[in-house]
Chains A and B, each alone.
Chain A
């Protein structure tokens, strides 16, 4: 974008709200994406990143708020026109299995734009060439690797000549060996002037290199935004900082009715194994969870979400999000959390309780024993 061109917002979101079954996923979200801008969206699992993107092209219907695309309220637009203007690339590629790569790309232009077949085919072949798959025109999706499929999917989106492309974790379903070929294609698109892109990704290095701006999303809002340097090197807010420090996260949706403690235990173990956690901390994790679930959370809620993260400093972060009345186990006087409180007090370096909307958020940090 040349510096003296007037900055015009391509997408403007005001007070966007979305709930699923009474759970607030987006809470009054405000955001602006300018024309020709590349915006990366990062944030913990469950923050509502996918939901945000899906609201933009109305795959989800917002409960409240306004979305303006190119200055026009999407409520007043023909949904199909909106979607032709705003392409989307999915985590799972979603190529049509009954069509070859070429036909996958041609399908929308020939059916929706009524482009003559010959012309559509020529364009499709060009696009295939652009994503580096000119030899795979007649390959069917099952004959392509994940990375190739995702590149065809990108070409399919490009075939409609959209002004905006939304990417929802385009590399998350790929083998690590294939991530770069897809990122390479996205990067080359980003380098071409004019295209507006919103990319949800967990590839931090890629986000830093490719984006004009980064949104950090948490708890249903754009919690912090700024240039890549700002967000990745000098985050202003705690949560952002915590997230950036975090090396890996895993999230569990826990439901009392079908909660399988052995399976949960095994998954925790896998995570601990992966990050070479010491046996003491691994045991501690399991003890804390068992105490809290059985003797505290399940006494007043059926469902909660549990996120586990590990930071660069090898601290273990636990975040419990649960509904119901405002109850903090650290000050709860019912006695239910007595034992859990004792363990937590003894082992956690940081304990943070917060009421967000109608949900409780409890965050614990278990420090690296060696540094303590």
Chain B
């Protein structure tokens, strides 16, 4: 009891010190922020692009679709720029429009198509690298594949339609076109002229395989290579290709309107004889299925916004600073700092991102603490119970929570447990962090409660207190004081661990700094500012706890009471 006493007396003066320090930090930050906010705006003009080499610069961002050949090609071609992976093509286009990336690296045919659809886009003429778009077939279809390759060779040759028509039963019957080769004609129509319809192509008259058609899967979620037209019929470049191939083979075919993701599994199960879907021929895949020669030129190319395109070669990158146009190299340190500050906080009202992020962070922290504390009570009760069936589940729960990374718990809750329920990501994050918090805080509560002298509980019972009153009047107040310091620590580490919620698409403070970092192409200010905001928030919340500790200190109560008692 003496040790406890000295501890209580010792902690008496600390809250005041902590509070004074917090004020210092707060004032410092506020002054810096106001000074910066009072400066003008930097419009952040982006450097023009003439050729591929203008994109290979630090702080420029080239977006690509994760896992594609064109993405890898872009990584090779732009070692100095950031090549940022995106989950799908649509996001890429949005990011380009928004200006959060400078260019999109993708398969040329698609870029041509997008540029044909939307004049804001511009495809740079140079290729980033070669592509291999091939027809796929199961390993067993070696003979058929040989014939497909013969077809591709002829269709890509420079022979005119007329010449080919003579040779191949009209497989290459032209469609009001002047292009020299069938391939060129099809490419022009489908990828460069928006709104092409499928030409009428006859079926083979005396097929060599009557009644047993080749089953050909074509991805129709992939305009303009394959899609469903207004009537719901399969259409597109690849459909036309397949129909012409059928004529060439003189064979009946059944076209399966398929999804891209199904093509490989179905090929491997031999459910399809051939598959088309702008399939990239990669070494990994070649070990599993057969690939034809490339039936379409699909090199990776780069698309930028039309207004960034410079018709003349670009000499050096220049930015418009506050008033004067300076290159980055010319700026003084102070100017650079100031510009960075403006870019981080002022441009596009980015400070709002930080404010929103901080709001989310605090919301998640508070909800997680409340939930976690309630669960910690329950867990503490279960752990202390004499009943095994209450004790064991709690023990298992603690083992799981303490042995699993919090990020994994968050992902499991977000992608597995709560996928069906319509609850916000913030709440899922708060639950995940709360569960984790409970495991630790509950154990601390348990040791806090277990550490209470049994004699005190007996004294209370001997006075006539029931179980609940013993808890309320004796255990709880004593345990509270004992637990508070560790509980505070746990709370602060909860605040900090909210920085992982960006993984499940929540814009917290860390994510906000990520976004800003992505837009300004520099890390220093967003990260330092974020660290500072965390630090200040943690200190302010901690000082709240320190005040609570101070109030819970019985000596404080005596000092304040002056005769007034609180039992």
Contacts and interface: CB of A to CB of B under 8 A. Distances in A.
Contact of B473 (A57, A100, A111, A117): A111
Contact of A108 (B8, B463, B481, B565): B463
Which one of B458, B463, B473 has the greatest number of beta carbons of chain A within 10 Å?
Answer: B463
B173 to A, nearest CB: 96
B554 A140 contact: yes
Contacts of A220: none
Contacts of B5: 97, 140-143
Contacts of A138: 558, 561
B469 A112 contact: yes
Interface string B494-506: 0000000000000
B28 interface: no
Given A94-B455, A112-B469, A99 B567 contact: yes
Interface stretch (A80-88, A191-199, A363-371): A80-88
B4 A83 contact: no
B1 A111 contact: no
B478 interface: yes
B459 interface: yes
B458 A106 contact: no
Nearest to B480: A98
A80 B467 CA distance: 10
A80 B466 contact: yes
B119 interface: no
B130 to A, nearest CB: 78
B554 A98 contact: yes
Given A112-B463, A112-B469, A98 B567 contact: no
B565 A102 contact: yes
B90 interface: no
B462 interface: yes
B162 to A, nearest CB: 102
A160 B554 contact: no
A102 B474 CA distance: 15
Interface residues of B, number: 30
Nearest to B463: A108
B446 to A, nearest CB: 19
A108 B453 contact: no
A98 B463 contact: no
B226 to A, nearest CB: 75
Interface string A127-165: 000000000001011110000000001001100100000
Grouping DSSP codes into helix (H, G, I), strand (E, B) and loop, the A interface class, with mixed when no group exceeds half, is helix
Interface in B382-437: none
Interface in A243-274: none
B565 A121 contact: yes
B469 A100 contact: no
A303 interface: no
B474 to A, nearest CB: 6
A96 B561 CA distance: 18
A123 interface: no
A83 B463 contact: yes
Given A99-B567, A138-B558, A59 B462 contact: yes
Interface string A37-65: 00000000000000000000101000000
Contact of B2 (A87, A94, A142): A142
Contacts of A140: 5, 554-555, 558
Contact of B565 (A87, A106, A141, A156): A106
A92 B223 CA distance: 85
Shortest Cβ-Cβ A-B pairs, 5 listed: A142-B5, A94-B459, A84-B464, A88-B462, A94-B455
9 contacts: A84-B464, A90-B462, A94-B459, A98-B477, A100-B554, A103-B565, A108-B465, A117-B565, A138-B558
Given A94-B456, A97-B1, 19 more contacts: A59-B458, A81-B464, A87-B462, A95-B459, A98-B481, A98-B554, A99-B554, A100-B558, A102-B565, A103-B565, A107-B567, A111-B567, A112-B463, A112-B465, A138-B558, A140-B555, A141-B1, A142-B5, A156-B463
